[in-house]
Structure 1
Amino acid sequence: MLDVLHGGSEERFDRITRMAQALFGVSAAAVTLVTDSVQVHKSQHGPMALGDGPRETAFCDHTIRDATTLVVEDATADERFSHFPSVTGSPHIRFYAGHPLTGAGGHRVGALCLVDENPRTFTDAEQDMLAELASWVQRELDRTAELDSAARVQRALLPRCVPTVAGYEVAGMCMPAGSVGGDFFDWYHSPDGHLVLTLADVMGKGLPASIIMATVRAVMRSTTRDGDPGHALTEAAATLHDDLERTGRLVTLCHAQLDPARNELRYADAGHGLMLLVRADGTAHRPESGGLPLGVLADQTWTESVVHLEPGDTALAFSDGLLDLYDGTLDSLEQIAEVVRDCVDATHLIDRFTVLARRLGVRVDDVTVVAVRRES
């Protein structure tokens, strides 16, 4: 559940094993994780190379059976370990010391351990230092569990199904740069049958931005079901202003209503400015934007603008993280428009951007896109 087994080495653990190896002068220091059948080295540092292997012949299998530090001063003289392949053969471990690590549920899941090819004593003071270093690893594991839980909550706040709108295709995606982020998109049907769409980008990243994101989403949902987008955005901004001012956050936001009977997309823009209209004939332009972001002025108002959608037209709203998948500037809008021209429908378009974001690997910003396409 910690989702740290197969992601390769991570600097947050590597810096601790480097410190431990240098501090104790051992052949290797490692962060190990123990599953029901194998031991995995999440991080290791030192001239001795440690390999993953079966749990039953792993020192750490014994470490996790108790809450205290396990010390083996000479493995060849300890009947519990003298037959282990890592003792009788390479890497010829003689000394071992390990302090257990626990998961969020209190289960012991691994250890911070030290190994050496020579037997040695390990004082109470050294055990205390190892336990202190292990507490640093523990905090990282706790942070992983916390972020994973927050990520599940944030994913649950995104739309769970694609809305049905006669004559239109609608699709969206949101990929945070880390476990959680400050972007979101939302859609739902209003009482008058219009489709209400929102895309927002909270200044900042991580947990603080995600908390503000959830607040903005809740307010937008509660205050924007009726009325034109400009009025709805003005009302929501007034509700949010004190919270945004106290937390020092700004929010850029695009809020729209799709009227399928009139084939109109009515929208209000709060400092976002990242919309693209690609016509069926291939021409592309940015619809006008206006107004400041939420959180700047308490009495700011917004007015609505209207885009008429012809058959085959696609309206795209996105966060600036999409630009970062290219050169990070508005010059990449033409490349984004070319992707729109190349896609057969809104779902295909969103899939293309999702694949591009995943292929990039490490992202510096959240990537969020909403596409509305009138069927040909």
Structure 2
Amino acid sequence: MSEPLRVLIIDDYEKDAQLLIRALRKEGLEPYAERICTAPAMERALGSGSWDVAISDCHMPEFSVEGALALWQRELADRPFIVVSGAIGEEEAVALLKAGAHDFVKKSNLARLVPAIRRELRDAADRQARKSAEEALRQSEMRRCQLQTELNCAAEMQKLLLPQAPLFLPGFEIAASCFPARQVGGDFYDWYETMPGIVTITFGDVMGKGLAAAMLMTTVRASLRAVTLRVQPSLAIKLAEQSLQHDLNSSESFVTLFLARLNVEASLLTYVDCGHGYAFLRRKDGRVEELLPRGLPLGISSAENYQEGGCVFEPGDALVVYSDGVIDAMPEADHGMIASRLAGAPDAREMVARIAALAPPGIPLTDDLTVLVVRKS
């Protein structure tokens, strides 16, 4: 099967053009050829079609090979331009090659023509492939930089959503830290006074990691803030689940939550555990009290209502809440092991630091790691 080739022949003799066409066909090419011999004709030809190669005579009465080469380079610089001539000096040939011609073939040796064309077409294809690859790499790097900028902004915004200043509570300390496995994550914590002496404490873990989890986390946090102002935790959870139902269903995600209300004067903690489970009360003497009951995560359909639990703080007691990133970092960790690590810790901040230190240093986190501690002085 012949190989098609679109050839622009720049020659003032039709017979010479036919010789070139026969030489191409002899080597298995099927040329679609057009012969021109003036600058206006070449401009029309270049404007009306896409050419694979130009074959130009060196000496023409109305058109110079230098002019033809300049027009070709203006439109199709990446395609081969082959000079074919019966008589040309060495200096002239070298000058044309330096000006951009790809090869020179004597009319007495047309057997070189097709190999030269094929070689130059391969080289042109390689150049185009490299150019395309470089452009794709440049575009990819631009997208990566843009995404990195967006992630940096998202990470900064997520940090700003976490409590920025300690909450001073008579007789209590509260501290927390969050270490996303990526720049942004789905873990969050929050605390704020809903009324004098009443503090709402939220700890959540959105299924997944990265930007999608972080976006859903922002929505969950905003919904909880809107519904926890003057209602008990169980009702707040019910209202939040109703408002979040569409987002959770469309994202096919769920959220584990620990939502608590602390009455500072009474040292009473009322809470709802929505499938979180990683929360306990460490008594001053090191004993661990499980915080029951527990319900399902938000986003998991259930006809059951969320049940509240409660506990009373004594001096030295601490509420400890952590994400499953702690377990991923140290699979053997449990409430008892974590509680034992807190012996002798002078304050809530030190307790948080000790739990976070369970993650082996130098090893990237596989999941977001978040810890919150509320301690009665």
Normalised TM-score (structure 1):
0.64
Residue type matched to 1:173 in 2?
S
Q: What secondary structure is seen at the aligned counterpart in 1 of 2:195?
A: coil
CA RMSD, aligned part only?
Answer: 2.1
State whether residues 356 and 371 of structure 2, in contact with CA within 8 Å, keep that contact through their aligned partners in structure 1: no
Q: What secondary structure is seen at the aligned counterpart in 1 of 2:131?
A: helix
Residue type matched to 2:338 in 1?
I
Greater Cα shift, 121-130 or 190-199: 121-130
State whether residues 281 and 318 of structure 2, in contact with CA within 8 Å, keep that contact through their aligned partners in structure 1: yes
Question: What is the aligned partner in structure 2 of residue 99 from structure 1?
Answer: none
1:336/1:225 Cα in 2 relative to 1: closer, same or farther (>3 Å)? same
Question: What is the aligned partner in structure 2 of residue 145 from structure 1?
Answer: 149
Is structure 2 residue 308 aligned with structure 1 residue 323? no
State whether residues 330 and 359 of structure 2, in contact with CA within 8 Å, keep that contact through their aligned partners in structure 1: no
Is structure 2 residue 343 aligned with structure 1 residue 341? yes
Q: How does 1:174-323 map to 2 (within 5 A)?
A: 174-297=178-301, 300-323=304-327
Q: What secondary structure is seen at the aligned counterpart in 2 of 1:341?
A: coil
Q: How many angstroms apart in 2 are the aligned matches of 1:356 and 1:372?
A: 19
Instruction: State the Cα deviation string for residues 317-369 of structure 1 (Å, max 9, x = none).
Output: 11111122212x5x533221112224111011122334444825300111111
State whether residues 278 and 341 of structure 1, in contact with CA within 8 Å, keep that contact through their aligned partners in structure 2: no
State whether residues 245 and 295 of structure 1, in contact with CA within 8 Å, keep that contact through their aligned partners in structure 2: yes
Q: How many angstroms apart in 2 are the aligned matches of 1:179 and 1:300?
A: 36
Q: What secondary structure is seen at the aligned counterpart in 1 of 2:141?
A: helix
Residue type matched to 2:270 in 1?
R
Q: How many angstroms apart in 2 are the aligned matches of 1:285 and 1:249?
A: 30
Q: How many angstroms apart in 1 are the aligned matches of 2:371 and 2:225?
A: 19
Q: Aligned-pair distance for 1:270?
A: 0.6
Q: How many angstroms apart in 1 are the aligned matches of 2:362 and 2:371?
A: 16
Q: How many angstroms apart in 2 are the aligned matches of 1:126 and 1:242?
A: 48
Q: Aligned-pair distance for 1:232?
A: 1.2
Normalised TM-score (structure 2):
0.64
Q: How many angstroms apart in 2 are the aligned matches of 1:164 and 1:126?
A: 62
Residue type matched to 1:149 in 2?
C
State whether residues 174 and 374 of structure 2, in contact with CA within 8 Å, keep that contact through their aligned partners in structure 1: yes
Q: How many angstroms apart in 2 are the aligned matches of 1:305 and 1:125?
A: 66
State whether residues 314 and 374 of structure 1, in contact with CA within 8 Å, keep that contact through their aligned partners in structure 2: yes
Residue type matched to 1:165 in 2?
L
Q: How many angstroms apart in 1 are the aligned matches of 2:178 and 2:245?
A: 25
- Unmatched runs of 5 consecutive residues or more in structure 2: 1-122
Q: How many angstroms apart in 1 are the aligned matches of 2:199 and 2:357?
A: 27
State whether residues 312 and 374 of structure 1, in contact with CA within 8 Å, keep that contact through their aligned partners in structure 2: yes
State whether residues 189 and 201 of structure 2, in contact with CA within 8 Å, keep that contact through their aligned partners in structure 1: yes
State whether residues 274 and 286 of structure 1, in contact with CA within 8 Å, keep that contact through their aligned partners in structure 2: no
Q: How many angstroms apart in 2 are the aligned matches of 1:195 and 1:132?
A: 53
Residue type matched to 1:343 in 2?
A
Q: What secondary structure is seen at the aligned counterpart in 2 of 1:253?
A: strand
Of the three residues 369, 372, 377, the one matched with 1:370 is 372
Q: What secondary structure is seen at the aligned counterpart in 1 of 2:224?
A: helix
Instruction: State the Cα deviation string for residues 68-91 of structure 1 (Å, max 9, x = none).
Output: xxxxxxxxxxxxxxxxxxxxxxxx
Q: How many angstroms apart in 1 are the aligned matches of 2:240 and 2:311?
A: 23
Q: What secondary structure is seen at the aligned counterpart in 2 of 1:127?
A: helix
Q: What secondary structure is seen at the aligned counterpart in 1 of 2:269?
A: strand
Q: How many angstroms apart in 1 are the aligned matches of 2:200 and 2:256?
A: 17
Q: What secondary structure is seen at the aligned counterpart in 2 of 1:188?
A: strand
Identity %: 35
Residue type matched to 2:132 in 1?
D
State whether residues 288 and 335 of structure 2, in contact with CA within 8 Å, keep that contact through their aligned partners in structure 1: no
Q: Aligned-pair distance for 1:265?
A: 0.9
Residue type matched to 2:321 in 1?
A
Q: How does 1:163-178 map to 2 (within 5 A)?
A: 163-178=167-182
Is structure 2 residue 188 aligned with structure 1 residue 160? no
Q: Aligned-pair distance for 1:286?
A: 1.9
Q: Aligned-pair distance for 1:248?
A: 0.5
Q: How many angstroms apart in 2 are the aligned matches of 1:353 and 1:242?
A: 35
State whether residues 268 and 305 of structure 1, in contact with CA within 8 Å, keep that contact through their aligned partners in structure 2: yes
State whether residues 276 and 297 of structure 2, in contact with CA within 8 Å, keep that contact through their aligned partners in structure 1: yes
Is structure 2 residue 133 aligned with structure 1 residue 133? no
Q: How many angstroms apart in 2 are the aligned matches of 1:355 and 1:151?
A: 22
Question: What is the aligned partner in structure 2 of residue 94 from structure 1?
Answer: none
Q: How many angstroms apart in 2 are the aligned matches of 1:302 and 1:360?
A: 40
State whether residues 258 and 266 of structure 1, in contact with CA within 8 Å, keep that contact through their aligned partners in structure 2: yes
Instruction: State the Cα deviation string for residues 101-125 of structure 1 (Å, max 9, x = none).
Output: xxxxxxxxxxxxxxxxxxx999454
State whether residues 272 and 289 of structure 1, in contact with CA within 8 Å, keep that contact through their aligned partners in structure 2: no
Question: What is the aligned partner in structure 2 of residue 111 from structure 1?
Answer: none
